[in-house]
Structure 1
């Protein structure tokens, strides 16, 4: 992914970071990249973790994700990776320090860089000492990562949907739970429960009106007094944009 994210000629992402990049062409290796993109404050601890990815410019996405998660398993606080990117370090020309940036704004820039790199490769041929196979692999990894990002948003949304509606039913004295179906994705890395309105209605026909109202209310985000619903509105916007990112990278370079 680094080859694509850093652009074909020179660094086009993470220009705002002062962290040392030691990969060919002045780009970052994976651990350098995720460390350089972090938000840092006066009390931010130095990250001493190691994902195990090494100096592979196109690491397997599942291995890389697992490596990030595993850095917190030794019990040492400084090796736990804080997953909070700094938009100003990633794109200093577009975002100011401390600026609050929405998911579509930040990731739109990321995919602009990837698409621009793809267009340059298809138009001018491979440059910067990389082969066509390098770029094909990087694109494949980018698609895997995008798929995981999209599916992660779906999984998170399903979890919130089920929790909110079960809470609604309990408050109404129904004492029922939303029926769920387990879904798996990313070769089994991600698994989540998905609400099943039909099964819920079938098992609880006497409460059909309340159940339908809860499903519709959650989907429309029209509960102005519920903080969970307000948060869900933001999440759904990110979910929709994750689908846009997926469409772009799985489409051609002009998407």
Structure 2
């Protein structure tokens, strides 16, 4: 039997003695587009970073395709939140995307012509090839996010993790990004996205992880996106629930 794309057992994470993620266990099968949703302060980004060993966990076990993160790091692409990136760094759009090819280069080897051609192809896929010589800080929020998705595509990964990719992004860029993520899943890739806008969860994902420090629910959108289930995470936020069209 094929190993799940991601398997998490009893994951705990804390900041300064305060538990941010408590006892989460779940498995995600290959080829799914999964949204991590929950209220502000629910630990969504913390959960994502702990899965990837980007921050320390108190305890718990995470396996990707049956192996440790360290063993399969080359097969994992990560797009951080935009506010975690130094947009003043003197790097062009093309060079930023080329970084995605580095995990597959031999030690001390620089990208070759075929790597640059692949990077340009990835920029074309996200509609950003004409900006290849721009400094990344000169781009709009949506353009920047497209570039970092192109960098992830350049890595030829099997799993893609995106942390709040639609924050500060224009509608056109958001639509482009969602289209590409869905295409990746059709190709057998697995995509995990931290997402805050519940009104679009039903259109974007086929599975949801609903968190509020603890795992509230995990399953298909139809299973999770029910008023009585959502209400368990968004305790008392009835005005918010009505705004997104979830009646209680």
TM-score interval w.r.t. the shorter chain? under 0.3
The structure showing larger relative contact order (alpha-carbon pairs under 8 Å, at least 6 residues apart) is 2
Higher helix share goes to which structure?
1
Question: So what's the TM-score if we normalise by structure 1?
Answer: 0.23
Determine which structure has the larger strand proportion and give its number. Answer: 2
